[in-house]
Amino acid sequence: MDDRFNTAAGWVLFAGIVALGASIASGMFFHADSHDYPEGQDYGYFVKGEEVGAEESGPDLGTVLASADAAAGEKVFAKCTACHTIDQGGANGIGPNLYGVMGTPIGAHAAGFAYSSALSDKGGEWSWENMNAWLTSPRGFANGTKMSFAGLSKPEDRANVMEFMATYGGAPAKPAPAAVEEAVAEDAPGAGPGPVEGVAADGAEAAGAMSADQPVAAANSAAEN
């Protein structure tokens, strides 16, 4: 019994030694502890991550606001009514009453409401630009705000909501749409009137050319030879 056990243990030990030796040898050959590979040998592909370009900007705020719809904004504003009132004299809720908020100082509109320092210390006024940035991402606009709303991703939704809010207490003047630059066509050879070099003249051009003054030989040119 002891002989068989010793024999089996010997084989197990031998197999372990062989496996350990093979592991060490393969590690030395393949440089397992190094990121440097032997010259001329490829052991795989390095995949470079695809660079994501900047998101294409859409129409400017003035252009979007020019077609804003207060009725559509009222439907989107329904998401806000869980925290806000907008009627004149409405009570503050989880969020402040929003009547006449457009154009007022940021973080100081609703009397008695406890604004976060992130908003009350922001400075500036609720212009169309600031309100648009706030509705895009409240936390991005004022990091540390108590408002948990994630924001409206669509520019049209934000413009419609602001248009609706402006019907309750007014708002400052809207930003003007960006001017559209008209492309000026460059003059190209042959773009204007007149014959083009290398192009056969049509009938009208040929007739005009024939009517042009032609050189007349001098009367005594033959005598001078």
Token pair for residue 25? Answer: 């040898």
- Tell me the per-residue pLDDT of 53-108, one tens digit each, with 9 for 90 and over: 334 468 999 999 999 999 999 999 999 999 999 999 999 999 999 999 999 999 99
d(CA 152, CA 135) in angstroms, rounded, equals 6
What are the backbone angles phi and psi of residue 166, rounded to the nearest 5°?
-65, -20
Contact in structure between 117 and 106 (CB atoms under 8 Å): no
Threshold 0.75, pTM exceeds? no
Output the average pLDDT for the chain: 77
d(CA 185, CA 183) in angstroms, rounded, equals 6
Binning pLDDT at 50, 70 and 90, where does residue 203 land? low
Number of H helices and E strands in the chain, helices first, is 8, 0
User: For position 125, what pLDDT does the model report?
Assistant: 97
How many percent of the chain have pLDDT more than 90? 53
User: For position 222, what pLDDT does the model report?
Assistant: 43
Binning pLDDT at 50, 70 and 90, where does residue 204 land? low
What are the backbone angles phi and psi of residue 125, rounded to the nearest 5°?
-125, 165
Binning pLDDT at 50, 70 and 90, where does residue 132 land? very high
Binning pLDDT at 50, 70 and 90, where does residue 115 land? very high
How many percent of the chain have pLDDT more than 70? 59
Write down the CATH number for the domain with range 61-166.
1.10.760.10
Highest mean pLDDT among 39-53, 126-140, 184-198, 205-219 belongs to 126-140
- Tell me the per-residue pLDDT of 1-38, one tens digit each, with 9 for 90 and over: 566 767 776 777 777 676 766 666 666 655 545 444 44
Q: Is the pLDDT of residue 148 over 70?
A: yes
